[in-house]
């Protein structure tokens, strides 16, 4: 039996930033330092609660909170299982860093509507942790929808005509995806009578092929939009119009990862690997993910705008997770799950660097970056670390997660996917390496002396780059990320309540 505060830790983790959002809204621009304090406090609290649950979760303890009954037989319920904790842990940790980074970015760029920015960011994190720790599909969908709505004000932050136009497109994608998810959830409820996640799946095969395929398609659309699987990905590059902290945290770590996390839940805890494999659905999923990986990498190479290039890179890497999960072998799934974390660390580093370049030097294009390595060596050095990691060089987290996916592909006998994965590493290098190569190995008369961006931004960049390296060398040392991921996969394989 749970005692004391920890019993309701999942709830507190979700609420920490929700309450902060209210505090932020009321504090306002006049007391901006106090307002920023709320953000930082909330992020630390949030992470604290989740990290505190990790030892228990690894030992098999399940923290559960069940609130009001939302529909017959389905409650608003949170449950900290390894899969959820993995996602929540990475999101909340990176939010701490993003909070500091955002302060530097917003103040450095003298941005407008900062209160709205920080408040909505807090709400988004609440929703992210909520869906990470959701115990059933309805709770998941609830937070998923909230996340979609809460990200809108952040996407249109600039408030230009273009921003509003993109915001409308974003909403269409997000709301349609949400509706499709609701439809799929209703179908599942009708077929299975329950919505609780179960390791190894809870959908009864007796539901019939038609129903099951429809469910899969609906969820494919619903999750695929957020998870950037082609052809549902086009909102992601467009959404880069948002401020870089938004792109970094939400569109590399939280929102898009919610989409692929949804696929993890779908394959691991709703359908189950057995059913997915038997019906051949996993092959479809894997195929589309593979296409996405390749196509996105090629498109990334054509983009001169740095954030656009990073956006397509994200699209590609999200499909790594999907591919890992779709290959159905435990190793591949472990690789995919772990990639959620490693990619987050690496990509956020890159986005942070892009933001620093924008705020400090007003650079947005790759072609502008010649020689900037002299001026901003720490930033570009971190970029190099992230890039190398994404390409899958040994010693980085990216290498480890990718290796496991490749291994998993080998175990399943999917040579084609192995080739694609290995090739994509080269493609990654192709579009990322030029960035720091130009920065360091070309010179420009403009950049002669050291002149970094503010420490609010550079500090987090260093931390995330370090994390990217540590995940590759000591994967379990930091917050037991790797251990949690392993537990997550075991839960899928073992079956039963996750």
Partner 1 sequence: MSHIPVLIPLSLLVSSLLALLAGLRSPGWGHKISLGGVSASFLFSLAGIRAVLRDGMPLRYALGNWPPPVGIEFVLDSLGAYMTGIITFIGVVVLVYAPRSLARETPGREVYTYPAMLLLLTGLTGISLTGDIFNLYVFLEIAAIAGYALLATGDRAAPVAAFRYLLIGSLGGGFYLLGVAFLYFSAGTLNMADLQARLPDLVENRAVISAAAFMIVGLGVKMALFPLHFWLPDAYTNAPSAAAGLIAPLMTKVAAFAIVRFFLDVFPPSFLTEALPLVSTVGWLSAGGILFGSVMAVAQKDYRRMLAYSSVGQIAYVGLGLGMANPVGMVGGLLHILNHALMKGCLFLIGGSIRYRTGITQIAEMRGLGRLMPWTMAAFVVAALAMIGIPPTAGFFSKWYLILGTLEAGNWWWFGVIILSSLLTAVYFFRTVEMIFREPEEGDPVARIGRKRGAGVTGVGPSPEVQLGLGGATEGEREAPLSMLLPILVMGAAILAAGLLNVAIVNGLLAGAVAHAGG
Q: Is residue 168 within the footprint of partner 1 (CB under 8 A)?
A: yes
| Cβ atoms within 10 Å of 415's Cβ, excluding its own | 10
SS3 74: strand
206 CA to centre of own chain: 34
Q: Is residue 153 within the footprint of partner 1 (CB under 8 A)?
A: yes
Return d(Cα 148, Cα 172) in angstroms, integer: 10
Return d(Cα 352, Cα 248) in angstroms, integer: 7
The pattern of x and - marking residues 92 through 131 that bind partner 1 according to CB under 8 A reads: ----------------------------------------
Kindly tell me which of 75 and 319 has the beta carbon lying closer to partner 1: 75
Q: Is residue 207 within the footprint of partner 1 (CB under 8 A)?
A: no
All residues at 6 or more sequence positions from 415 whose CB lies less than 8 Å from its CB, including other chains: 409
Return d(Cα 400, Cα 467) in angstroms, integer: 13
Stretch that binds partner 1, among 81-89, 181-189, 366-374, 409-417 (CB under 8 A): 181-189
Q: Is residue 78 within the footprint of partner 1 (CB under 8 A)?
A: no
CB of 133 to partner 1, least distance (A): 16
Q: Is residue 69 within the footprint of partner 1 (CB under 8 A)?
A: yes
Q: Is residue 182 within the footprint of partner 1 (CB under 8 A)?
A: yes
Among 8, 37, 176, 454, binds partner 1 (CB under 8 A): 176
Q: Is residue 159 within the footprint of partner 1 (CB under 8 A)?
A: yes
Query: What 8-state DSSP symbol labels residue 240?
Result: G
Among 6, 51, 52, 175, binds partner 1 (CB under 8 A): 175
Kindly tell me which of 26 and 455 has the beta carbon lying closer to partner 1: 26
Task: Encode burial over 296-313: b for 16+ CB neighbours within 10 A, e otherwise.
Answer: bbebbbebeebbbbbbbb
Return d(Cα 158, Cα 144) in angstroms, integer: 24
Stretch that binds partner 1, among 15-23, 67-75, 248-256, 294-302 (CB under 8 A): 67-75
Stated length of the chain: 498
Stretch that binds partner 1, among 174-182, 417-425, 441-449, 453-461 (CB under 8 A): 174-182
Q: Is residue 167 within the footprint of partner 1 (CB under 8 A)?
A: yes
Q: Is residue 160 within the footprint of partner 1 (CB under 8 A)?
A: no
The pattern of x and - marking residues 11 through 50 that bind partner 1 according to CB under 8 A reads: ----------------------------------------
Among 180, 346, 350, 458, binds partner 1 (CB under 8 A): 180
Among 1, 33, 60, 68, binds partner 1 (CB under 8 A): 68
Return d(Cα 443, Cα 332) in angstroms, integer: 43
CB of 411 to partner 1, least distance (A): 39
Q: Is 487 in contact with 58 (CB distance < 8 Å)?
A: yes
- Peptide bond between residue 231 and the one before it cis (omega within 30 degrees of 0): yes
Q: Is 411 in contact with 273 (CB distance < 8 Å)?
A: no
Return d(Cα 259, Cα 235) in angstroms, integer: 13
Dihedral of the CA atoms 451, 455, 460, 462 (nearest 10)?
Answer: 50
Q: Is 448 in contact with 374 (CB distance < 8 Å)?
A: yes
CB of 200 to partner 1, least distance (A): 25
Kindly tell me which of 262 and 472 has the beta carbon lying closer to partner 1: 262
Among 6, 19, 70, 493, binds partner 1 (CB under 8 A): 70
Helices of type H across 198-329: 209-227, 235-238, 244-245, 255-265, 273-279, 281-302, 306-326
Among 7, 52, 183, 217, binds partner 1 (CB under 8 A): 183
Q: 223: closest CA among 276, 185, 274? A: 185
Q: 13: closest CA among 99, 147, 127, 148? A: 127
Q: Is 175 in contact with 235 (CB distance < 8 Å)?
A: no
Stretch that binds partner 1, among 54-62, 66-74, 117-125, 428-436 (CB under 8 A): 66-74
Stretch that binds partner 1, among 119-127, 169-177, 262-270, 342-350 (CB under 8 A): 169-177
Q: Is residue 142 within the footprint of partner 1 (CB under 8 A)?
A: yes
Q: Is residue 186 within the footprint of partner 1 (CB under 8 A)?
A: yes
Stretch that binds partner 1, among 180-188, 277-285, 295-303, 439-447 (CB under 8 A): 180-188
Q: Is residue 171 within the footprint of partner 1 (CB under 8 A)?
A: yes
Binding site for partner 1 (CB under 8 A): 68-72, 76, 138, 141-142, 145-146, 149, 153, 159, 164, 167-168, 171, 175-176, 178-180, 182-183, 186-187, 189-190
């Amino acid at each position: 039996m749970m005692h004391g505060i920890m019993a309701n830790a999942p709830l507190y983790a979700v609420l920490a930033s929700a309450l902060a959002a209210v505090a932020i809204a009321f504090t306002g621009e006049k007391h901006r330092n106090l307002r920023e304090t709320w953000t930082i406090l909330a992020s630390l609290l949030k992470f604290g609660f989740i990290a505190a649950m990790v030892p228990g979760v690894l030992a098999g303890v399940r923290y559960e909170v069940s609130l009001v009954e939302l529909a017959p037989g389905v409650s608003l319920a949170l449950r900290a299982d390894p899969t959820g904790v993995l996602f929540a842990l990475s999101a909340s940790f990176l939010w701490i860093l993003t909070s500091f980074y955002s302060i530097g970015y917003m103040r450095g760029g003298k941005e407008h509507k900062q209160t709205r920015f920080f408040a909505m960011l807090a709400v988004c994190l609440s929703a992210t942790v909520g869906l990470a720790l959701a115990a059933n599909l309805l709770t998941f969908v609830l937070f998923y929808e909230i996340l979609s709505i809460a990200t809108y004000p952040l996407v249109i932050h600039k408030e230009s005509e273009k921003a509003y136009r993109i915001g409308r497109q974003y909403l269409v994608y997000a709301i349609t995806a949400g509706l499709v998810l609701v439809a799929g959830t209703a179908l599942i409820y009708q077929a299975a009578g329950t919505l609780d996640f179960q390791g190894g799946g809870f959908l009864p095969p007796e539901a019939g092929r038609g129903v099951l395929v429809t469910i899969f398609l609906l969820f494919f659309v619903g999750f695929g939009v957020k998870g950037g699987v082609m052809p549902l990905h086009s909102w992601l590059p467009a959404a880069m119009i948002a401020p870089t902290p938004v792109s970094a945290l939400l569109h590399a770590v939280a929102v898009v990862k919610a989409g692929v996390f949804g696929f993890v839940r779908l394959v691991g805890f709703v359908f189950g690997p057995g059913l997915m494999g038997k019906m051949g659905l996993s092959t479809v999923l894997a195929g589309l993910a593979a296409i996405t990986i390749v196509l996105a990498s090629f498109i990334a190479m054509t983009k001169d705008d740095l954030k656009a290039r990073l956006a397509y890179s994200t699209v590609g890497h999200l499909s790594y997770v999907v591919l890992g999960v779709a290959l159905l072998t435990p190793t591949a799934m472990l690789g995919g799950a772990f990639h959620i974390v490693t990619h987050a660390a690496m990509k956020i580093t890159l986005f942070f660097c892009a933001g620093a370049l924008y705020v400090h030097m007003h650079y947005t294009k790759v072609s502008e970056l010649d020689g900037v390595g002299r001026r901003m060596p720490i930033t570009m050095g971190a970029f190099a670390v992230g890039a190398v990691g994404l390409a899958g060089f040994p010693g980085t987290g990216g290498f480890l997660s990718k290796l496991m996916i490749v291994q998993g592909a080998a175990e399943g006998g999917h040579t084609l996917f192995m080739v694609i994965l290995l090739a994509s590493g080269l493609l990654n290098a192709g579009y990322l390496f030029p960035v720091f190569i130009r920065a360091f190995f070309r010179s420009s008369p403009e950049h002669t002396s050291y002149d970094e961006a503010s420490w609010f931004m550079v500090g987090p960049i260093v931390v995330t780059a370090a994390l990217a390296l540590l995940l590759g060398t000591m994967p379990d040392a930091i917050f037991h990320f790797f251990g949690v991921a392993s537990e997550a996969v075991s839960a899928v394989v073992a079956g039963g309540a996750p």
